[in-house]
Amino acid sequence: MSEEPLLKMRGVKLEGRSDETWNPIINGIDLTLMRGEVLGLIGESGAGKSTMGLAAMGYTRDGVRISDGSVEFDGIDLLKASAAVKRGLLGKRIAYVAQSAAASFNPAHKLMDQHVEGPVQHGVNGRGASEEDGIELYRKLRLPNPDQIGFRYPHQVSGGQLQRCMTAMAMSCRPDLIIFDEPTTALDVTTQIEVLASIRDIVEQFNTAAIYITHDLAVVAQMADRIKVLLKGDEVETADTATMLSAPTQEYTKSLWAVRSFERPLKPAVQTGSVPVVSVQKVDAAYGKVPVLHDVSFDMHAGRTVAVVGESGSGKSTTARCITGLLPPKAGQIMLDGEALPADYRKRSKDQLRQVQMIYQMADTALNPRMSIGQIIARPVQFYLGLTGAEKRKKVDRLLEQIELEPTEYYNRLPSELSGGQKQRIGIARALAAEPKFIICDEVTSALDQLVAEGILRLLARLQDELSLSYMFITHDLATVKAIADEVVVMKDGRVVEQGPKAEMFTPPHHAYTDLLLSSVPEMDPDWLTNLLAERGVDNIGDAAVDKM
Amino acid sequence: MGNVLTIIFQRLALGLLTLLIVSVVIFVAVNLLPGDFAQSILGQAATPEAVASIRRDLGLDQPMVTRYFDWLGGALRGDFGSSFARANFASFSGTNSGATTVAEQIAPLFANTMFLAMVTAAIAVPFAIILGILAALYRNSVFDRATNIFTLSSISSPEFFLAYILILFFAVLNPIFPSLSTIFDDMSFSERLEKSMLPALTLTLVVTAHMMRMTRAAIINLLASSYIEMARLKGLSPMRVIVIHALPNALAPIINVIALNLAYLITGVVVVEVVFVYPGIGQLFVDSVKIRDIPVVQACCLIFATAFILLNLTADIMSILSNPRLRHPK
Amino acid sequence: MIFGIVIALVGMAALAWGFRFAGQAITGNTPRFRDMPFGVAYGYVLGVLLLAWLVWAYIQGRSADPLIANKFFFLRIAVEGFLIFAVAAWLFRLLGRSVGTAWSRKMFRSMPLTASFGILTILIYATFAIFAGLIAPYGQEQILPGVAANIVPGGDPALGGDPAFLFGTDQIGRDILSRLIYGAQNTVGIAFATTVLAFLLGGTFGFLAATLGGWLDQVLSRMVDVLMAIPSLIFALLLMTIASVWAPQLGIPLTVFMVVIIAVIDSTRVYRLARAVGQNIVVMDYIEAAKLRGEGLGYLVFKEILPNATAPLLAEFGLRFCFVFLTIAALSFLGVGIQPPLADWGTMVRDLGGFVNYAQFAPLAATAPLLAAGAIALLTVAVNFVVDWMLHRSSGLKE
């Protein structure tokens, strides 16, 4: 190849400071990017991909340093360049799009003022011309009301729109390279899709090179020409998107791909007339005077999983709070084994409390950091079952075995000494210790990396088969639903939009919202986004589509 | 804007309510005193007629609720009643001349204290803010560590320790400033300034340390935010990052810091005025506490509390006003 | 005068420019000097000049001419004291790193010098406070017959001192050293008791408010708001006025009233913190899990909340102690705090403060009041250093 690469990183080593010593984050990675090329950088949390992205700009956060290697941008060595030379490149030729647009826009200035700052300060364009160009970019990014939106303050604009405004800001000097650092991670699926579509369009249109950092394989498949996989600061492999998806060479990459294929066999339909373990009946609920749930009803049967799906604010977690009794409903009731439960958990009997257990999203906040694993699991054993001494210890050991952790090794450890997946397993053991019939799983896998999450899902499935448990599985991730659900309940704005067995729910025809939700979930097929846009039309995605309903 | 006005109005109302309750607390606390003021003023040897006359003069024969509203109503008009000590003195000497009302007694002293507080603020505020910002910008540097040790030490020292050290160095060993702040009404400004320099410097040391640490913390917090990183990644000059991106958002915390520390001055002023025999309201307060001159104690307390509440209220309102989310509602 | 200042400022600017230029030339233009802002170079020059002045002043303080030496006497003492403390702290840290359990050794390894100085000082104070009766040569109230006020320390008869009294005697003939040592017991002991009381009060109500919420929280919080709207020293003085009338009538020492008054006033601050800390813990999922399990209030507070609140509470205890200690010292200094004949540092400063003015003729005369005031300052500085380190550590863990 005769063409010189735009960005050349060689043997880059990064170190982070903690406990008064420097620990490696990235152990010598090479990265080459040609003009107009989009490179996907994927890896689990802690793989060092964000730090790597910033290092490509010659920038490190406080407490991080580049200890070795070189970063060369268009022939300029960024690590040796003076501060003034680097300032001349940043914003003008290399731009950055951060994960949280809400936090990355200065709350004190209007969007347009922040947009034109780059071109004006770098002398690319005058204020008037930059503003006109800004409006043009907003239009290209399909922002509603492009003429006015720039004259609002950041907090007056929604998350998905802000993210596109930031992309416009990055484009304002027509840079050669943009670093996208997880730009859609904080967004709902239906919003994510329009941001993805507009980012892809504009990058293509101006032939900008980009590094797209994400943990979501399906997203990166839509955006990148080439994919680089990182694992704990090391490169696993790099290949073209098509090759990478169809024929990964490394074990780790293969296992990442395989996660998506986990699916439980379908169960026979529920026998008519059987009493559900837990039944939610015509529940209305409100926080203070703000109504949150409207007439929510569904049943959950023994040995089966009901997945409750919806975007943030749809009322899934509130439904769980009604079932546990933390938020007594305004109307309707919760039935356990055909008997009505008192609305307030304080009025429920010990046995009723025992039957309904909960597993939380954030294992970090769900386990008391000052208690050992043994104490955490032993408490419900003693509290509900009245076991003490050796009997209690035996029961705890058995529970630890059930969640596939070695009792002698883990009994005396503190939660902080465990990995995220292990902590989540402890949460499961604590729920099991009560010997319940029904467990609420509140986004239990969404804070975990894919491989670990899959392990948790398999464990939950196995426990269900062994103990004939009933799960209510709250999630926003449809891949998880596909993997574990028997029945699906779709919620939107505090109402049940649609419900039924999984097989039915994943085959058309659907309620329009279910359809939108299902089709918005990115798939591994690199042409998925293109096809979807062709199918829906560019003006009919995301918020626009939701608003039309 | 309507939204912000409502919030500010609510805060003002709340402040007023607090002030009212504080006045009740002060009044009730004083009325917890055992026995009869009049008797205790005149001593055991006083004739019953003299006691009765003082009781009537001071309104002590009224029920407590009436006395409270009389007192509060008077206080609102700037009339805090008459000083026991002076009344006592007047009844013995048979004259009614001189400053016998609390208000007459307090007014000039209050002006002196305000003068001291303003001199202190004029030195301390710019000094502390600049040092605080520098410490935040160059955090973990030698400068930051040295100022940290220095400020921690001066926060930890009692005011009288700092005062005596300053006296030792600047009045005794090197006679630059006077160690006693004798101030008269007809002094020129520069004379006044010279006389109140040491008390002002003492207060400056204490207040600067507090203010600097709080400014530093606020700025560090701010510099860690994503939008500052974004501004840097846009290739803006360090000056522009500070002035355009950090400062508008730093204003609220800094104003807050200033108001809180001026409120802190109120406490510091008492001890410092005593050390330097500065004729201010703090000195009067301590003297009145010792001779149990209740109306003066009440009045001083109310003045201190009012200043304290007003400053905190200012801090509160300023931070509301500078919040863009509230200034520009959706 | 103004002309001189301008010359000095310009001169330093030139020095700063020269310093940066020399740095660039010598180090071959490394980024450290190349990207150094002018202000930073100026700062270095300023710092070096300050240090140079300090060295010069120290040498002056050792001058043979007593007139010059006297002028810089206290500066000399301060510099020497600073060095001695620094070395002592360093040695103490070295000791801590080599003996003790693995945990304590690890702690000493990551400890800044300021913190080890703080711990060492606190230990020394604690020793003096506990064994005051054994260490002090005379009783705290003992008026020694036939001894006039003699505040010259050092016990050197040539300078007018008395070898029997190392730090001299006060106006009515009490040994100052003994009173200083007993002061550790009285002042520190009373402040400690007050802080404990404030914590019991504020901590209990704060956690109750956080856990139960509802009207109890509302009522308590509004009450605390009102109490905090009055500056604490002013409020304390007001209440002490009233207490000073009640105390003789009830036959309870005024000091007891002071302890209760300050504890109540300070418990409002503790309440705020305990409530905030408690609320942060109460929203955690493990508390929700315990609540849903059907656990009682006692289990929630003592097993789930308190163990997680110890770190911030311990730091707050240090800060509160400093505050209480300074308030008591201020009250005593103003004459309404700890009552004579108990030896107390604040009262000693008030009684002996006038001697500072004699330092012009004999610098040693100022020692006694400065020692008492310095004793207060040193302990608060020490506690603050330790707390600063603890807060830094716990914030470091969170990140």
Does residue A299 share a domain with residue A249? no
Radius of gyration, CA atoms only, chain C? 27
Q: Are strands A94-97 and A64-73 parallel, antiparallel or unpaired?
A: unpaired
**Is A179 within a domain?**
yes
Residues of chain B with C-beta less than 8 angstroms from the C-beta of A92:
235
Q: Does the pLDDT value for residue C277 go beyond 80? A: yes
Two tokens, residue A372: 């050992």
Same domain, A232 and A348: no
Bridge partners for A9 per DSSP: A31, A71
In order of A105, A164, B164, the CA distances from A141 in angstroms are: 18, 7, 68
- pLDDT at position A395 is 92
The answer to whether C376 faces chain B, any CB pair under 8 Å, is yes
Residues C351, C168: Cα–Cα separation, whole Å: 14
Give whole-number Cα distances, A114 to A156, A216, B226, in Å.
Answer: 15, 30, 14
Picking from C227, C346, C385, the nearest residue to B152 by CB comes out as C385
Q: Which residue of C has its CA nearest to B268?
A: C233
Q: Is residue A183 part of a domain?
A: yes
My answer on whether A385 and A303 are in the same domain is: yes
Q: Average pLDDT, stretch A409-434?
A: 90
Question: Is residue A513 included in any domain, yes or no?
Answer: no
Please check whether residue A296 is in contact with residue A315, taking contact to mean a CB–CB distance below 8 angstroms. yes
Say yes or no: A180 contacts chain B, CB-CB below 8 A.
no
The 10s digit of each residue's pLDDT in C208-232 is 898 888 889 999 998 898 888 888 8
A338: number of Cβ within 10 Å: 9
For the stretch C334-383, pLDDT in tens is: 888 887 777 888 888 888 887 877 777 777 777 778 888 888 999 999 99
A483 contacts A467 by C-beta, under 8 angstroms: no
pLDDT on residue A545? 58
Q: Is residue A250 located within the same domain as residue A289?
A: no
What's the CA gap between B37 and B27, in Å, rounded?
14
Q: Which residues contact B237 (CB under 8 A, 6 or more apart)?
A: A87, A121
Under DSSP, the state recorded for A154 is G
- Residue A318 predicted with pLDDT over 50: yes
Q: Which residues of C touch B33 (CB under 8 A)?
A: 242, 245-246
A81 and A213 in one domain?
Answer: yes
For residues C94-111, give the mean pLDDT.
Answer: 83
CA atoms within 13 A on the CB side of C340: 13
Q: How confident is the model at residue C397 (pLDDT cuts 50, 70, 90)?
A: very low
Summarised one tens digit per residue, pLDDT across range A16-40 is 877 667 888 888 889 899 988 999 9
Contacts of B275 in chain C (CB under 8 A): 353
User: In A, which residues are within 8 Å of C288 by CB distance?
Assistant: 326, 358
Distance from CA of A44 to the nearest CA of B (A): 22
Cβ-based neighbour number of residue B130 at 10 Å:
12
Residues of chain B with C-beta less than 8 angstroms from the C-beta of A161: none
Judged against a pLDDT cut of 80, whether residue C139 lies above it is answered with no
**B288 in Cβ contact with B296 (< 8 Å):** yes
Evaluate whether residue A489 is within a structural domain. Answer: yes
What's the pLDDT at B42? 59
Q: How far is A37 from A172, CA to CA, in rounded Å?
A: 19
Find the CB nearest B164 among C230, C356, C380: C356
| Residues A317 and A227 both lie in one domain | no
| Nearest residue of C to residue B175, measured between CA atoms | C360
Chain segment C25-53, per-residue pLDDT in tens: 887 777 777 777 788 888 888 889 999 99
Task: Tell me which of A246-250, A447-451, C216-220, C391-395 is least confident.
Answer: C391-395
* Percent of chain C clearing pLDDT 90 (strictly above): 20
Handedness of CA B200, B205, B209, B212 (dihedral sign): positive
| Better pLDDT: A190 or A93 | A93
- CB C285 to CB A365 under 8 A? yes
Among the partner residues C34, C110, C285, nearest to A362 by beta-carbon distance:
C285
Interface check B16 vs C, CB under 8 A: no
Q: Which three-class secondary structure state does DSSP give residue B116? A: helix
Neighboring chain A residues of B328 at a CB cutoff of 8 Å: 153, 155-156
Element (H or E) spanning A41, and its range?
strand A38-42
What pLDDT score does B91 carry? 47
The ipTM (two decimal places) reads 0.85
- Which residue in A82, A354, A358, A370 has the most chain C C-beta atoms within 10 A of its own C-beta, making it the best mutation to test that interface? A370
Q: Which of A235, A261, A287 is the last residue of a domain?
A: A261
Q: Do C373 and B158 lie within an 8 Å CB cutoff?
A: yes
State whether A370 and C308 contact (CB < 8 Å): yes
State how many domains chain A has: 2
- Residue B160 tokens read as 């009288």
Q: What pLDDT does residue A538 have?
A: 59
B271/C334 CB distance under 8 A: yes
Q: B232: which chain A residues are within 8 Å (Cβ-Cβ)?
A: 59, 90
Residue A75 pLDDT exceeds 70: yes
Domain boundaries, chain C: 1-61, 176-395
Residue A18 CA to residue A15 CA, distance in Å, equals: 10
CA distance C9 to chain A (A): 28
* CB contact set of C139 (below 8 Å; sequence gap of 6+): C178
At residue B330, the pLDDT reads 62
Q: Give percent of chain A above pLDDT 70.
A: 96
φ/ψ bin of A88: left (φ > 0), alpha (ψ from -120 to 50), beta (otherwise): alpha
Distance from CA of C147 to the nearest CA of A (A): 58
pLDDT of residue A544: 56
Average pLDDT over every residue of C108-136:
87
C330: nearest CB among B25, B158, B305: B158
Interface of A with C in 360-389 (CB under 8 A): 360, 362, 365-371, 379-380, 383-384
Alpha-carbon span C292 to A327, nearest angstrom = 12
| Residue A528 belongs to a domain | no
CB contact under 8 A, A369 and C285: no
Q: How confident is the model at residue A527 (pLDDT cuts 50, 70, 90)?
A: confident
pLDDT of residue C343: 80
Cβ of A59 under 8 Å from any chain B Cβ?
yes
Within 10 Å of residue B152's Cβ, how many Cβ atoms?
A: 20
**Helices (H), strands (E): how many in chain A?**
24, 20
Q: Please indicate if any CB of chain C lies within 8 Å of the CB of A297.
A: no
Instruction: Tell me the nearest-neighbour CA distance from B132 into chain A, angstroms.
Output: 19
Q: Tell me the CATH number at A426.
A: 3.40.50.300
Domain co-membership, A242 together with A360: no
Neighbours of A397 (CB within 10 A): 17
Together in a domain, A158 and A91: yes
State the best of C125, C221, C233, C244 to mutate against chain B, taking most chain B CBs within 10 Å: C233
Which pLDDT does position A359 carry in this prediction? 93
Which pLDDT belongs to residue B59? 66
Residue A316's nearest CA partner among A482, A474, A478 is A474
Q: Is A530 within the bounds of a domain? A: no
Nearest to C289 among A350, A366, A370 (CB): A366
CA distance B238 to chain A (A): 10
Chain A residue numbers with beta carbons less than 8 Å from the beta carbon of C282 are: none
Where chain B has pLDDT below 70, the residues are: 1-2, 33-46, 54-55, 57-61, 81-100, 329-330
The answer on pLDDT for A183 being more than 70 is: yes
From C309's Cα to the closest Cα of chain B, the distance in A is 23
**Cβ within 8 Å of B, C 34-63:** 40, 43, 47
| Cβ neighbours for A418, distance < 8 A, ≥ 6 positions apart | A373, A410, A426
- Does CATH number 1.10.3720.10 belong to domain C176-395? yes
Q: Are C153 and C162 within 8 A, CB to CB?
A: no
A-interface mutation test, from B141, B220, B221, B234, most A Cβ less than 10 A away: B234
**Distance in Å from the first CA to the final CA of chain B:** 11
Same domain, A216 and A100: yes
Q: Which residues of C touch B35 (CB under 8 A)?
A: 245
Residues A55 and A114 in one domain: yes
Min CA distance, C329 vs chain B (Å)? 8
Residue range(s) defining the domain that contains residue A358: 278-507
Q: What is chain B's Cα-based Rg?
A: 24
What is the chain C residue with the closest CA to A324?
Answer: C292
**Strand-pair partners of A66:** A14
Mean pLDDT score, C127-139: 81
Whether residue A131 is predicted with pLDDT greater than 50 in this model: the reply is yes
Closest CA to A446 of A432, A457, A431: A457
Chain C residues in contact with A384 (beta carbon < 8 A): 293
Same domain membership, residue A480 and residue A434: yes
Higher pLDDT, residue A547 or A194: A194
Cα radius of gyration rounded to whole Å, chain A: 26
Average pLDDT, chain C: 84
**Contact between chains at B26 and C334 (C-beta distance less than 8 A):** no
Does residue A25 lie in a domain region? yes
Q: Tell me: do A207 and A148 sit in the same domain.
A: yes
